[in-house]
Structure 1
Amino acid sequence: MRKSLLLLLSILVAPNVSEAKLKKSMKKECLVCHENWLLESKIKSPNLLTTESYRAADKLMCLTCHDGSMADDRLTFLGFKHFSHPVNKKVPEDFKMPKGFPLQNGRLYCGTCHTPHTKTGSEKKLDYTFMREPNVNSSLCMKCHKENEEHGRNHPIFKEEREPLKLEYALKIEKLGGKLTDDGKVRCESCHSAHRGRAKNALIERADNSLLCSVCHIENVNSKEHPNFRNHPIHKKLPKNADVSFFKENKAVTKSVECMTCHKVHKEENKHLLVANERKLCILCHVSEKPVLKTKHNISDKGCSSCHIAHKAKGRKLWSREIPEDAFDYAALIEARGKTDILCLSCHYPEHVINGKEVETVGTLTHPTGKKVEGKVKLPLPGGRLACTTCHDPHHSFNNNPKGKFLRKERVSLCITCHREEADVKRGAHGEIDKKRWKKGDCAACHNVHKAKGGYLSRVVYGEISPMEPPVDGFCLACHDPEGMAKHKVKESIFNEHPVGVDNPTDKLPGRKVSCATCHNPHTHKEELLRIPVRENSKLCITCHTDENLTNSSHDILKNRNVKLSEKEREEIVKHGSCSICHTPHNPKFKVLWSRKPGKGETIGERLCSSCHSKGGLAEDRTIGRFSHPIGEKVTEKNRSMILNSRLPLVNQMTGHVAKRGEKGVFDCATCHDPHNGADKKRLIRYTLEGDSLLCTACHRAESKVIGTDHDMRVVNKNFKNALGKVVLKDGVCSACHVPHKAKDKLLWATDIKEISGNRMSDYCLTCHSKSGVAKDKVVKFYYHPKKDVTVRSFDRPGREGDWPIFDKNGKRVLAGGEITCETCHDPHVWSKWEKKPPMKPVEGSALNSFLRNRDLKGSICVDCHGLDALFRYKMFHWKKAHSKKPSYR
């Protein structure tokens, strides 16, 4: 069987040609190989494409059969041209070829390893057919490649201590055309195939993309094909600042990061066949992490391997260290929730010793991690959350300070990267704290990021606070203490300051309490470090105290023209706000945060109000006078219930605040007046007086029956004016006779009293019911009762019930020895019930307009005392002609 010369020159790789099932025979004719010699006589034939002659074992000679075109081919050398063992390659002069392995003109050729005239091979040993020596366990390969056999410098083969290769890996190698030893271990042909290679260096698979290595080392790679975060990633571009020249010099893969980028298979002195020692290799790519070698993170001078390992790591980030249970317990204690925090804590947990020295911890109070961060922050956020590595770069510190704290930025700059709103602290009062120790505005003046001593990462020990107070208050009091840094601003008053620990009325979230930080922002530069200014209008105060807005009221001192303020006083009020005229949140001079020296008085309200409403005070034109509505008197349960039901508050004399239900309270100034926002903006009373005098009748229910009677001056005469010149229609029905303050006499009498009868009580009535009085149409001409020879007592009459009060000459009610006055028989507030409806106009001469106390039976009230002779006695008392001239009736 002859081939044409065209077939001799067609050296093609034919991967789709299946191998024929070979029938081995060592007795083929010589012409099978030597037929080319017969062509020599036809060298000059024009039909031939070559004029060369071929020697036995020449490459082209061998390929006349081993190119896949013959059915009787022993093997098809698919990659002979590119990926098989090199032929026609000049052997270096200093290389000593092993005995029995010839060259052709100093070059390798097929006959260097093969010869058909060998006894090697048999029907049972196809692998060794025509080889100069049996290639048992790559022994023939080792004749030349002795250096690739040395253990420690080359990929391990024939390792006795190693277990046979896993079946899944063995099957992969066999499928790719590789071979293992008889006992299933790696040999040269496991990776190389002299005639059937698929990649450079006669490899059975490409090495530049880690395909060859990953045939067996699946557990050691991390790629899209074999994802495993515990191994160094492959198929990635080298970093921009990587030392590519070094890798090229060492003939490593540089198109991307692959197994062969870091590892060499042959002739490498470094451990794990690395192209450089472990200390140097990592920083060839990870250049920015190089400074770690000069820090204390270079544990025992191990370099990167102190913390990282390229393959089969113990955790994220190729962590090389086992993470003990103590570290997990510590992470739970400090609530370190960042995904990578546990890596740091695998060393930085309590009582952990490295190189004979206990490792520093972060304490039990430390900056939180694992928290979701909103917005853009120019710091690393693993998974979008805070972690140890957000602030710390474990490989170097800011400015490459080897003794630094591994911070990514200068301390203050680092803090304000996230805490932008707190950056204003530099310009505020807290930015000046202890300049000698910290830079201006240094957060460390108040906070410890790690090993804090209190809430809010406090660097100072808390001051004394009650369990009800928010922790932030203790933080403040740690400095604002007589022995603290802010000892010039401390609590000195014996009275309570603005309450803390109470519910915040402006916070929609339940359970939020008022604290120092509710009003103050320790990081601002604003006046008094307030979150909202108080200047002029006390806007901060009324944010919570919405019902206490003084605007346009008589207590709006800055706008009240009747109040004369010195320039200094006005400046102080403007600075601290309108509320400051009465209140101060800190160091008050009395209860209820009183900012002024309290005045004289028996009740809290009286002392508070008299600090201004007194002679020499800001409101000396608005004093209460000698005769004023009583306050501080004992409130009976009946009256107490009546007052509370009328929505008029009693005042707790212990606190100065409105008494809550169940608390003891007394009638005080604030019962009738709301100093912050009354219904009447001028007088600041809780109910208006205009019309039916709702404020008065809220408590004086029985007296409210005067409305609509002849004593209701609005009905009798709308133009009626009392002695104070106030129109009754404006000041209410009660004002015709009474005023709460600056009264002319007892009973809060509104007008001057005329001395007519000799008894003060009767004079109240006779002041009007006299010829010059406003009730001159109803004059009482005879108004006296025997004062001598008679002892009058106040008691219920037999068979009749009623209250017939008697009074001494000063108008004080007594039980015995008093006098019968107008008020003994008349109740000026209650019309007689004899009429279902009192007339809206007085009836001339009608006895039904008399306000008599006897309202149950018809007849004379005198009968109750004098019996059947009452008519005679009445005439003696009221009719001049019948009046006796006896001394006792004078």
Structure 2
Amino acid sequence: MRKSLVVLLTILAVTNTAEAKLKKSMKKECLICHENWLLEAKLKSPKLLTRQSLTATDKLMCLSCHDGSMADDRLTFLGFNHFSHPVDKEVPEDFKIPKGFPLKKGKLYCGTCHTPHTETGSEKKLDYTFMRKPNVNSALCIACHKENSEHGINHPILEDTNNKIKLEVAEKVKNLGGKLTKENEVTCESCHSAHKGKAEKALIERIDNSNLCSVCHMENVNSKEHPNFRNHPIHKKFPKGADVALFKEKKAITKSVECMTCHKVHREENKHLVVIPEKELCILCHTDQKWVNKTKHNIAGNSCKSCHTPHKAKGKNLWSRTIPEEAYDYASIIEAGGRDDILCLSCHYPQSTVNGKEVPDVGTLTHSTGKGVKEKVHLPLPDGKLSCTTCHDPHHSFDKKPKGKFLRKEKLELCYTCHKEEAEVKEGPHGEIDKKKWKKGDCGACHNVHKAKGGYLSRVVYGEISPMEPPVDGFCLACHDPEGMAKHKVKQSVFNEHPVGVDNPTNKLPGKKISCATCHDPHTHKEELLRIPVRNDSKLCLTCHTDQSLDGTPHDVLNNPNVNLSKEEKEKLTKNGKCSACHTPHNPEFKVLWARKPSRGKTIGEKLCFSCHAKGKMAEKALIGEHSHPIGKEVTEKNIKMIENSKLPIINQMTGHPAKKGEIGVFDCGTCHEPHNGADRKRLIRYVVEGDSPLCTSCHTQQSKVIGTDHDMRVVKKNFKNSLGKEVLKDGVCSACHVPHRAEDDLLWAFKVKEITDNRMSNYCLTCHSKEGTAKEKVVTEYYHPKKDVIVKNLDRPGRAGDWPIFTQNGKRVSIGGEIACETCHEPHIWSKWQEKAPRKPVEGNALNSFLRNRDLKGSICVDCHGLDALYRYKLFHTEKVHSEKPSYK
């Protein structure tokens, strides 16, 4: 109806010539386009795309029908005037329009591509109806834009994309208004739509935010919406310093980093259609890394491509190199734990070659990675942990030297960035090591960061050490050796130095096991490189040996007025600490780290203690005297139980230390004395002696039964003093008769022994039991046994009962040829041996309770000679009544 009305009005207005032609041709539809007219009815329509007057062949002539008033037009001309193929545009002189594609006054117009006179197309082929040439597979587009379809310099189309478009991608293209061939090949119309464009260049999607590229190349995209670390990121700002001007010159996208920033779709001769050669492209943005082109990492002149690729990388950081299994194995061996380490190791693993050249590895002993750093350092820490890239910048060295080692800072500065405390080494003795070759304080004097030769990244090779010793000790000994760099400070003693390899008893010093580095910090400038000073107080030693403080003891020689020290020795002790009076950790003179020349002696205790406790020595005011407690006696099966019960140690003569269970030892100074403190710090003894003399009675258990008897002078005579002038109450019950050192006689006798008889044993008793003695109320006046023509025997035999010892004149106990002494019948420590289990109840005048060894004389040596008369003589032995001029034994 609409068309009929138009035809009718047109016929009424045409000239006679036009009317004749119409009648002749009978093509009424021609009048629709070939008439200069304006429909008044259309002026009021809100759907009109233009209100201008129409002239033949003008684009608006086409819009007189295709104005959006019909639904078909709205779908066909979605991007009209904005994103359609340009019209009314002059064709550049160098752009050659093929024959059959007319221009209007040198400009493109709708008729350039379309004509209603063509036989091409029909209503069944709307995709190229009224086109001057069938646009099958974009043939019409290619006719003009032939240069944009040439192979190699343009985005691939047709056969280049055969079997490369996935079905889901093809569906996305069609939904956006793009077209593919029947075989799903890419054509010009896959990206461009002459009348349905939604973006500049008649594109079906925007190109400035990479949306169009992302339709097909989703696997090559890395954006916030589609993250994929194996591709270069897009929608990102240009980095600071990027050469944006060159991108603008190439008419690339410069508002942000997008696909079309680096790539051109048409007429780009560079590989992968990049705007400039790949060797130069990356460094336009990554200006800080451009120095890599002058380094060894510019492999075969491939620049960034030596290691990186922008799309479908083999690993993180757009890594382009395949990481071999050998690299992963190597990373496991060296315990590489940094985030980017495996990238570096993909080349730097043993026996790796690149372009026929062997690549150096970092060795099996190398600086650790994968560990966190507590303090803030101005170095890269991927994921907050150490990595190869923490110290190395793979693109250049700090000094910009082509043959540099890719270090981020000068070597010393780099080490000290993390190891701030170790920087003190510059001021200490280790800062001067081999200074002809190394800089002062150079870590390389001792350490190799890579390809180290020993533990702790040692630069030096050291020999085998004990499995018990930590590796650091071998590190130290490699230099502190007669042939080493520190030969002026070496181990020269044949005796063991401070033990290493044993458990560290404290967490105040480093290491689970004791090593050189437990006490010494090789990087410090402090005296003797000690972690804790020893000057004056030996604080370092006491950190582990907490129970061996000498404070307040006689062995604190610096504060003991009874010790005479020379000025030189005092200065030495002040410098090395209190412990150094006796011990030294290195080059000892004897066992137990003894710092002094040992004295002569049969036991270790004598050799050590007498080196000071001797005339002319430091402790000459504290000598043990001629008569002192015996030492050197081996522990036998007979007395091992006594020692075990006493809990006093026997001393292992091989080590000088208390014997462990199963070891052989002897009684020695260290059995009773703890030279560092002890229960009695003034006497340095293991148990106190006050009261019941627990130190003595812990071994002498039988003799402890003197407590509470008439020989317990604490009970009998208060304020009783022994020969040293000390009160028995304070020095213990045993001190009434005995002292361990500086005794007056044998048996550690505390008093001077009177020469009353010619038998020493009897004289011990008679010294007190005499008119001027302590026991003058119990004086013995007759105290000898005839010796002339008499041989006394004390032999074990069947039927004999009790213990009846006999003694030589000097007090030695024998079995035959001895004499009867007081101690033959009396045991001075036990009131009555046969009553020893019963409580003591002395009966005055009852001699049988006076410390007698036996209740009667059965089997005794008395009966051997005297028969039954022995009983009478035994009871009255100490009085004159039993004596006569005629010897009784005759």
Counterparts of 1:536-547 in structure 2, within 5 Å, are 536-547=536-547
Counterparts of 1:263-342 in structure 2, within 5 Å, are 263-342=263-342
Distance 2:164 2:596 in 1: 96
**8 A Cα contact 1:802 1:854, kept in partner:** yes
Q: Does 1:676 align with 2:676?
A: yes
Aligned to 1:454: 454
Aligned to 2:415: 415
Counterparts of 1:93-104 in structure 2, within 5 Å, are 93-104=93-104
Call closer, same or farther: CA 1:658–1:42 in 2, change over 3 Å.
Answer: closer
Distance 1:49 1:693 in 2: 126
**8 A Cα contact 1:68 1:76, kept in partner:** no
Q: Higher mean Cα deviation, 829-838 or 694-703?
A: 829-838
Q: Higher mean Cα deviation, 797-806 or 469-478?
A: 797-806
Call closer, same or farther: CA 1:157–1:598 in 2, change over 3 Å.
Answer: same
**8 A Cα contact 2:800 2:858, kept in partner:** no
**8 A Cα contact 1:807 1:818, kept in partner:** yes
Distance 2:873 2:53 in 1: 178
Residue deviations 1:19-40 (CA, integer Å, cap 9, x gap): xxxxxxx977234434652669
**8 A Cα contact 1:710 1:840, kept in partner:** no
Call closer, same or farther: CA 1:807–1:99 in 2, change over 3 Å.
Answer: same
Aligned to 1:782: 782
Aligned to 2:242: 242
Aligned to 2:197: 197
Distance 1:326 1:42 in 2: 79
Call closer, same or farther: CA 1:473–1:837 in 2, change over 3 Å.
Answer: closer
Distance 2:550 2:185 in 1: 95
Aligned to 2:648: 648
Aligned to 1:866: 866
**Alignment RMSD, CA only?**
2.9
Q: Any unmatched runs of 5+ in structure 1?
A: 6-25
Distance 2:387 2:578 in 1: 47
In the alignment of these two chains, the number of paired residues is: 866
Amino acid aligned to 2:139: S
Q: Higher mean Cα deviation, 343-352 or 660-669?
A: 343-352
Amino acid aligned to 2:707: I
Residue deviations 1:359-397 (CA, integer Å, cap 9, x gap): 101111111222233343322222222221111111001
Aligned to 1:769: 769
In the TM superposition, residue 651 of structure 1 has moved relative to its aligned partner by 0.2
Amino acid aligned to 1:207: I
Residue deviations 1:590-622 (CA, integer Å, cap 9, x gap): 000000111111000110000000011110011
Aligned to 2:115: 115
Aligned to 2:374: 374
Counterparts of 1:534-613 in structure 2, within 5 Å, are 534-613=534-613
Call closer, same or farther: CA 1:826–1:27 in 2, change over 3 Å.
Answer: farther
In the TM superposition, residue 861 of structure 1 has moved relative to its aligned partner by 9.7
Residue deviations 1:608-665 (CA, integer Å, cap 9, x gap): 0000000111100111111111100132223122112211000000111100000000
Amino acid aligned to 1:413: E
Distance 2:857 2:872 in 1: 20
In the TM superposition, residue 417 of structure 1 has moved relative to its aligned partner by 2.1
TM-score (norm. length: structure 2): 0.92
Q: Does 1:224 align with 2:224?
A: yes
Aligned to 2:181: 181
Call closer, same or farther: CA 1:260–1:588 in 2, change over 3 Å.
Answer: same
Q: Does 1:348 align with 2:348?
A: yes
Distance 1:218 1:625 in 2: 101
Q: Any unmatched runs of 5+ in structure 2?
A: 7-25
Residue deviations 1:240-271 (CA, integer Å, cap 9, x gap): 11101111111101111110000011121211
Counterparts of 1:94-173 in structure 2, within 5 Å, are 94-160=94-160, 162-163=162-163, 165-173=165-173
**8 A Cα contact 2:847 2:875, kept in partner:** no
Aligned to 2:391: 391
Identity of aligned residues (%): 75
In the TM superposition, residue 416 of structure 1 has moved relative to its aligned partner by 2.4
Residue deviations 1:143-182 (CA, integer Å, cap 9, x gap): 3323212222211222357435222222111111111234
Q: Higher mean Cα deviation, 53-62 or 849-858?
A: 849-858
Distance 1:351 1:711 in 2: 90
SS of 2:33's partner is helix
Counterparts of 1:31-46 in structure 2, within 5 Å, are 31-34=31-34, 36-37=36-37
Distance 2:467 2:52 in 1: 107
Q: Higher mean Cα deviation, 695-704 or 325-334?
A: 325-334
Q: Higher mean Cα deviation, 73-82 or 711-720?
A: 73-82
Aligned to 2:469: 469
SS of 1:209's partner is coil
Distance 2:510 2:569 in 1: 40
Amino acid aligned to 2:325: E
In the TM superposition, residue 406 of structure 1 has moved relative to its aligned partner by 0.7
Distance 1:432 1:639 in 2: 60
Residue deviations 1:286-324 (CA, integer Å, cap 9, x gap): 000011000000011111111111111111111111122
Call closer, same or farther: CA 1:397–1:38 in 2, change over 3 Å.
Answer: closer
**8 A Cα contact 1:365 1:453, kept in partner:** yes
Amino acid aligned to 2:560: N
Q: Does 1:717 align with 2:717?
A: yes
Call closer, same or farther: CA 1:495–1:738 in 2, change over 3 Å.
Answer: same
**8 A Cα contact 1:712 1:733, kept in partner:** yes
Distance 1:514 1:716 in 2: 56
Distance 1:274 1:286 in 2: 16
Aligned to 2:794: 794
Amino acid aligned to 1:741: H
SS of 1:399's partner is coil
Distance 2:705 2:333 in 1: 73
Amino acid aligned to 2:67: D
Distance 2:270 2:688 in 1: 99
**8 A Cα contact 2:35 2:56, kept in partner:** no
Distance 2:549 2:462 in 1: 35
Aligned to 2:492: 492
SS of 1:817's partner is strand
**8 A Cα contact 1:164 1:183, kept in partner:** no
**8 A Cα contact 1:336 1:369, kept in partner:** yes
In the TM superposition, residue 480 of structure 1 has moved relative to its aligned partner by 1.0
Aligned to 1:443: 443
Aligned to 1:54: 54
SS of 1:139's partner is helix
Distance 2:516 2:81 in 1: 85
Distance 1:470 1:72 in 2: 89
Aligned to 1:82: 82
Amino acid aligned to 1:468: M
Residue deviations 1:180-230 (CA, integer Å, cap 9, x gap): 234321111111111110000111110011110111111111122332211
Aligned to 1:23: none
Distance 1:538 1:552 in 2: 14
Call closer, same or farther: CA 1:676–1:865 in 2, change over 3 Å.
Answer: farther
SS of 2:816's partner is coil
Aligned to 1:630: 630
**8 A Cα contact 1:709 1:840, kept in partner:** yes
**8 A Cα contact 1:542 1:549, kept in partner:** yes
**8 A Cα contact 2:509 2:518, kept in partner:** no
Call closer, same or farther: CA 1:282–1:872 in 2, change over 3 Å.
Answer: closer
SS of 1:704's partner is helix
Aligned to 1:16: none
Distance 2:445 2:756 in 1: 81
Residue deviations 1:418-452 (CA, integer Å, cap 9, x gap): 22332222222222211122222211111111111
Aligned to 1:365: 365
Distance 2:685 2:420 in 1: 48
**8 A Cα contact 2:169 2:215, kept in partner:** yes
Amino acid aligned to 1:482: P
Q: Higher mean Cα deviation, 171-180 or 329-338?
A: 329-338
**8 A Cα contact 1:40 1:53, kept in partner:** no
Counterparts of 1:2-21 in structure 2, within 5 Å, are none
Call closer, same or farther: CA 1:62–1:859 in 2, change over 3 Å.
Answer: same
Residue deviations 1:734-781 (CA, integer Å, cap 9, x gap): 111111111111111111111111111111111111111111111111
Distance 2:49 2:643 in 1: 131
